[in-house]
């Protein structure tokens, strides 16, 4: 069931983001055809080919920058992948990969790495060598801590870790200076301590955890626009919420909130506030409507 959900939502999202110009860079689906081509081969897709191994001849196609190996039966990332030094986008979603080899650090031009729906329990420290990496997808694996290697890649703009078993996040998160999108939904996080967030964070998804309290430092995120902390155990929101000057949407559904601080009135850009599934009275909702006349409130 979990895999079916991610196939419908996450992978389709990734495909939309990883489009390349089909005229300028035609995608080959057969190695022999690619090798026979008189044109330079930049893009290859072996999606859902039932492969147990990467075709060895692929290492001769030195110009490939886009490689799609999604939906096969790979149990490891073969050496041939790491021979492709021009690789920028790599998709190995929906395989049975259990570990990332040391050679991952050789793909120094990689900007997008997608390893959703595999069997990873840890992340190789050599991933930190990918200093051009901007987007990483590690959804629906078996990770139980936030990968430390990611903390050492300040170029990262988007991190997706939905549907793992993460319960701990080190205090170094703010070191990912360019991070704008972070998805940690559907994990096992119950305590964020006073975690510091990167100053440019815009999208933060923490829904479906067991978080009891939001860290005070979160409310220093002046560039945050979308916050989803629905389906947690939050009982109170700090008055410092007024620091979220640019927030447009806040989802607090299915928590244990009976009230919100009056300081929420300072969120002049807030357009959507979702409060369904909280033990709030109609009177409290009416008060919030008065404080936030510009916002659509769902309760």
Q: For the chain, which residues make up each domain, given as ranges?
A: 15-188
Strands (E), the chain: 27-28, 43-45, 66-68, 89-91, 112-114, 135-137, 158-160, 181-183, 203-205, 226-228, 249-251, 272-274, 296-298
Report the C-alpha gap between 197 and 7 in whole angstroms: 29
The pTM of the whole model exceeds 0.75: yes
Task: Convert the pLDDT of each residue in 21-60 to its tens digit.
Answer: 766 789 999 999 999 998 999 999 999 999 999 999 999 9
pLDDT for position 23: 67
Beta bridge partners of 214: none
Q: pLDDT of 200-252, one tens digit each?
A: 999 999 999 999 999 999 999 999 999 999 999 999 999 999 999 999 999 99
pLDDT for residue 24: 75
CATH fold, domain 15-188, is: 3.80.10
> Band of the pLDDT at 19, cuts 50, 70, 90?
low
Strand partners, 159: 136, 182
């Amino acid at each position: 069931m979990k895999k079916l959900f991610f196939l419908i939502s996450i992978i389709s999202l990734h495909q939309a983001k990883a489009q390349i110009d089909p005229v300028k860079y035609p995608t080959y689906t057969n190695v022999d055809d690619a090798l026979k081509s008189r044109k330079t081969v930049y893009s290859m897709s072996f999606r859902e080919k039932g492969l147990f191994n990467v075709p060895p001849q692929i290492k001769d196609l030195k110009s490939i920058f886009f490689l799609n190996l999604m939906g096969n039966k790979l149990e490891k990332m073969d050496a041939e992948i790491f021979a492709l030094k021009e690789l920028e986008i790599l998709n190995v979603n929906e395989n049975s990969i259990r570990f990332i080899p040391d050679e991952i650090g050789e793909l120094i031009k990689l900007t997008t790495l997608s390893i959703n729906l595999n069997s990873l329990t840890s992340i190789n420290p050599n991933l930190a060598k990918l200093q051009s990496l901007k987007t990483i997808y590690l959804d629906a694996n078996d990770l139980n801590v936030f990968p430390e290697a990611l903390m050492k890649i300040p170029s990262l703009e988007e991190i997706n870790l939905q549907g793992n078993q993460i319960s701990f996040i080190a205090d170094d998160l703010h070191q990912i200076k360019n991070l704008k999108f972070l998805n940690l939904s559907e994990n096992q996080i119950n305590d964020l301590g006073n975690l510091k967030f990167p100053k440019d964070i815009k999208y933060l998804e923490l829904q479906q955890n067991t978080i009891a309290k939001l860290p005070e430092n979160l409310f220093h995120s002046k560039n945050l626009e979308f916050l989803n902390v629905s389906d947690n155990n939050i009982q109170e929101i700090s008055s410092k919420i007024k620091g979220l000057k640019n927030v447009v949407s806040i989802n607090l559904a299915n928590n244990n909130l009976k009230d919100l601080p009056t300081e929420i009135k300072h969120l002049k850009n807030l357009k959507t506030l979702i409060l369904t599934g909280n033990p709030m009275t109609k009177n409290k909702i009416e008060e919030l409507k008065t404080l936030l006349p510009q916002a659509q409130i769902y309760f």
